[in-house]
Structure 1
Amino acid sequence: MLRKILMALALMIAAPAAAPAIAQDKPEGKRVEVNGMRMYYEVSGQGEPMVVLHGAYMNIPSMGAIIPKLAETHKVYAIEFQGHGRTTDIDRPITYPNLADDVAVFMDKVGLKKADIFGYSMGAAAGLQLIIRHPDKVNKAVLASVAYDTKGWQPEFIAFIPQMTVEMFVNMPFAQDYKKLAANPDGFPGLVAKLIALEKEPMAWEEDVKKIKTPILIISGDADVSTLEHSVALFRLLGGGAMGDMGKPLAASRLAVLPATSHTAVPDQVDLLMGFIEPFMKGETPKGIFE
């Protein structure tokens, strides 16, 4: 089981999704000072602004084709988090509140008063904290593979967390890939230590989630790292799950479950993801047969 989990993680990081067939202008890469680090980001596309937040151990390239696809309809600001990709590390733990505050400062630095958010995995949890801590900065959010409580992780993953060591990650293939982009090529062990500590951080945000007014599209694989029951519970906390067709408007938030999709396969389901994301962003809902 342990080896399978590590190999899945390695495949996700080492093999970015294929580029889209539609030609895209090369994204413009920039750096900005954020809370003591030099944060790298890329800007692409036109339209309403959207900030893209990657998962743990990832970077902009490893998010694959979803970024250029989003850039067909949005002006995308894809960032690289503390110690990831080309962003420098600093003497500070990686926590979800810290990541969220970094995004808020980044938005201030690049002149984004408000934006949509797309976050995956660690980036989705950071996006959820951004909504909790800085609600005025988020218009709508798409959060893929997210949890609001550590009890929502699959039992296998909960059992795996205490077994995590720096050594098992530094010997994986993506440890070498890290050096190709990193501001500090020797910084991978330190990053791993911080990310292992992040997995052990308490996470119980139910009371905060209940107060959220921001529309959120929750996306989960049906074999994701968070349980389906947890995704449904999150949807209900956001006001979803009631019966339609009874004269009341649908909830502003939505839930989508990707079939036959594990955690590491979520970002690659680009066409399926966009089929959920674009109607949500436009406020479109399917019409009932009697409408």
Structure 2
Amino acid sequence: MKTTKITCLIFLLGILLPLAAQKQTKYVDCGDASIYYEVLGEGKPVVILHGGLGNVNGYASLADSLKSAYKVIAVSLRGHNRSTLGNRPYSFDLFAQDIIAILDNEKENKASIIGFSDGGVTAYCLAALYPQRIDRIISLAGCFRYSDYKPEGVNWIKTVTGKQRLGKDASLSDIARMDSLITCMRPLWQTKIYISQEKAAEIKAPTLIIGGDKDFFFSTECFKNAYRTIPNSRLIILPNTGHNLNQPEVIHKFIIPFLKEKSRLLN
């Protein structure tokens, strides 16, 4: 009988331990919107923020690369994917508030942030507005203001549609929802200043700025300006690289080593 109980216990542990390692899907109530996020792994928290009109699925490879050493919190920004649109005008400060609500919900006092494009802008805002809550940030192709966009980027902002984004085979309901999101995002993108030079200069968290020299939306001067403005920052410009920085080389050569570094001045 004793042997049978031990065997059953081992069997149950064999089921429960893998389940515990699987991702958890969660929501947090932010008043006017419900924000969806996923949690994987254990350890120091690292928040992953996708770009505009994207979703958490696009950064699954990054989350998988980090989950063995960190508690990964992958967020769908408001209006994106399973997060609801809400009824407040969109701003990067509002996105930052949503992330703080998630950290509170997870009972995490401090986290590192990895943000791509709009997520990178949100990372800057988080570090500036909530310095006590942010350990370090990695901004992938993030900018400070609308004027940082190249003319072709401005044209994309003004003309992009749900059908263009999702493709002709997407359902009418999915296209309609994407169009609603674009309606919310377009005024945000066209806001003159996302984060002021003065606020950015107050960022104390160690900051890694990564951009591609062939980015469709931004020139390298955008990334260089962020580097010159943020005191404790490091800049990497990747040659022959476009806007999409979700690449294994970037993850393993730059992102993971930066997260592992002990806190210190980077310059």
Same fold at TM > 0.5 = yes
Give 1:110-259 correspondences, 5 Å limit.
110-161=106-157, 163-164=158-159, 168-172=160-164, 174=166, 186-203=176-193, 205-224=196-215, 225-239=217-231, 252-259=232-239
Cα deviations across residues 98-127 of structure 1 (Å, max 9, x unaligned)?
A: 101111122112211100001001111111
Is the partner of 1:131 in helix, strand or coil? helix
Match of 1:276 among 224, 242, 254: 254
Give the alignment's TM-score, normalised by structure 2: 0.82
Give unpaired runs (5+ residues) of structure 2: 1-19
CA distance in 2, matches of 1:238, 1:173: 33
Describe the superposition over 1:26-49 as per-residue Cα deviations: whole angstroms up to 9, x where unpaired: 311122212332221111122211
Residues 86 and 46 of structure 1: is their aligned pair in 2 closer, same or farther, counting only changes over 3 Å? same
Aligned-residue offset at 1:196: 1.4
1:216–1:209 distance in 2 versus 1, CA, 3 Å: same
Distance 1:177 1:138, change over 3 A: farther
Normalising by structure 1, we get a TM-score of: 0.75
The one-letter code of the counterpart of 2:152 is E
Residues 1:66 and 2:54 are matched in the alignment: no
> Counterpart of 1:289?
none
Structure 2 CA distance for partners of 1:110 and 1:25, relative to 1, 3 Å = closer
Report runs of 4+ in structure 1 exceeding 6 Å deviation: 175-180
Helix, strand or coil at the partner of 2:245: helix
Aligned equivalents of 2:169, 2:122: Cα separation in 1: 24
CA displacement 1:235-275 (0-9 Å, x = unmatched): 11123xxxxxxxxxxxx421112221111x311x1233321
SS of the equivalent of 1:36 reads coil
Counterpart contact for 2:145–2:191, Cα < 8 Å? no
Greater relative CO, 1 or 2 (CA 8 Å, sep 6+): 1
2:91 counterpart letter in structure 1 = T
Tell me by how many angstroms 1:153 deviates: 2.2
Maintained 8 Å contact 1:51/1:115? yes
**Distance change in 2, residues 1:177/1:83 (3 Å):** farther
Q: Encode CA deviations 1:128-176: one digit per residue, 9 max, x unaligned.
A: 1111111111000111001113232223323544x42xxx512226268
Larger CA Rg, structure 1 vs 2: 2
User: What corresponds to 1:247 in structure 2?
Assistant: none
Given that 1:48 and 1:74 are in contact with CA atoms closer than 8 Å, whether structure 2 keeps it comes out as yes
2:93 matched to which residue of 1? 97
Deviation at 1:207, TM superposition (A): 0.9
Displacement of 1:177 after TM fit? 8.6
Identity of aligned residues (%): 27
In the aligned structure 2, how far is the partner of 1:131 from the partner of 1:189? 30
- What amino acid maps onto 1:199 in structure 2? W
State the SS of the aligned residue for 2:87: coil
Matched, 1:30 2:30: no
8 Å CA contact 2:41, 2:72 repeated in 1: yes
Name whichever structure is richer in helix by fraction.
2
Partner of 1:83: 79
